A = this chain, B = another copy of it.
Amino acid sequence: MKTEIIIINKERNVTLTAYTQQVGGKFANITKRPAVLILPGGGYQYCSDREADPVAFSYLQAGYQAFILRYSVAEHSSWPNPLEDVEQAMELIRSREDWNVYTDKVAVAGFSAGGHLAAAAATMSKKRPNAAILGYAVTGHDVKACNMTAPDTTPYVDKNTCPCFVFATRTDDLVPIKNSIEFIDALEKADISFESHIYAYGPHGFTIGNSSALTPGKPICNRAHRWVEDSIEWLKDMFGDFGDGEMSKPKCKGHFSGDSDAYLNLDCTIGHLMRFPEAIEAMGDFAKGMDEEEMLKAVSSMQLKGALRFMKVPQEVVDDIGNKLKEIPNRI
């Protein structure tokens, strides 16, 4: 492994630590690697070492290139300084050929205030990451308590937001859990893929949750440390996994429904389809059952394919509806 420390912005004390692993040689099947850019927390006052190296080791072990950004804090923390730092780091990670990074497989992982910054990268940045891991992140208005100039990121979630992995403890006494809840609610409304784990109890800032990273004496539930392994498995689902020369195909796509696809399809939600007269015709009898307002409200977020299966509609009818829908251009 090579270690480099690159000065991103001298005046603002911004550095990028690059931990990069070899490709080829004894790793003959690996030609490039996915990457994680780590954004430690610290209330925009400092960048915590507890959320730096220990996190990097976790992803390095999984075969990823790992980068730690010590972004603009304290007197340099005015927005958009920190986000600009992230954008510069993202650009560097994607352009340095000797780092052997898949340019479309770069995640950010941020914690607390760093989680705010990761969420900003995922929602507002000009250099978007391909996935975001948000740990006890102060994604909402609460960020003002540590950085008055920093924006609430939740309203910026839209269909261009990358898939997110969101975790926190329900008893976080510093960053209220509603930050995470409101963020995944926004992801759901924007039809974005995500995974989320809210653990029953544990302190703020528990980082990777093992004995060497935890502050002694603070009770934490025994599930909390699993986010590390789970986020690695999730990244495999979103980015694909190491294979023989190239990564395997992702198992999960970035959007849930077909509501933003070019043409209508069985993955669309019923609420979306019912806005298209041609789709109503294609759904035939099924659509007729939807004309009651209360029923329509009840099923509007359901995917058509699930509803048809639940109604035990025969497969050939389902296929027929699917074929008809595929002819109808979507208006989003």
Contacts and interface: CB of A to CB of B under 8 A. Distances in A.
- On chain A, which size bracket covers the interface? 35 or more
Interface stretch (A122-130, A206-214, A277-285): A206-214
B53 A306 contact: no
B29 A49 contact: no
A250 to B, nearest CB: 11
A213 B242 CA distance: 9
Q: Looking at A61, A210, A242, which has the most chain B CB atoms within 10 Å of its CB?
A: A61
A242 B211 contact: yes
A173 B294 contact: no
A237 interface: yes
A287 interface: no
Interface in A220-241: 221-223, 226, 230, 233-234, 236-238, 241
A314 interface: no
Interface in A101-125: none
A252 interface: yes
B22 A210 contact: no
A224 to B, nearest CB: 10
A190 interface: no
Q: How many copies does the complex hold?
A: 4
Interface stretch (A86-94, A142-150, A320-328): A142-150
Interface stretch (A69-77, A154-162, A193-201): A193-201
A241 B62 contact: no
A141 B298 contact: yes
B50 A61 contact: no
The 10 nearest A-B residue pairs measured at CB: A63-B212, A173-B306, A176-B301, A144-B298, A174-B306, A173-B303, A57-B61, A145-B298, A195-B200, A26-B49
Given A27-B49, A216-B243, 7 more contacts: A27-B50, A61-B208, A61-B210, A142-B299, A177-B188, A177-B256, A221-B252
Interface of A: 1, 3, 19, 21-22, 25-27, 29-30, 33, 43, 48-50, 53-54, 56-58, 60-63, 141-146, 148, 170-178, 181-182, 184-185, 188, 193-201, 204, 208, 210-213, 215-217, 219, 221-223, 226, 230, 233-234, 236-238, 241-244, 251-252, 256, 267, 269, 294-295, 297-299, 301-303, 305-307, 309-310
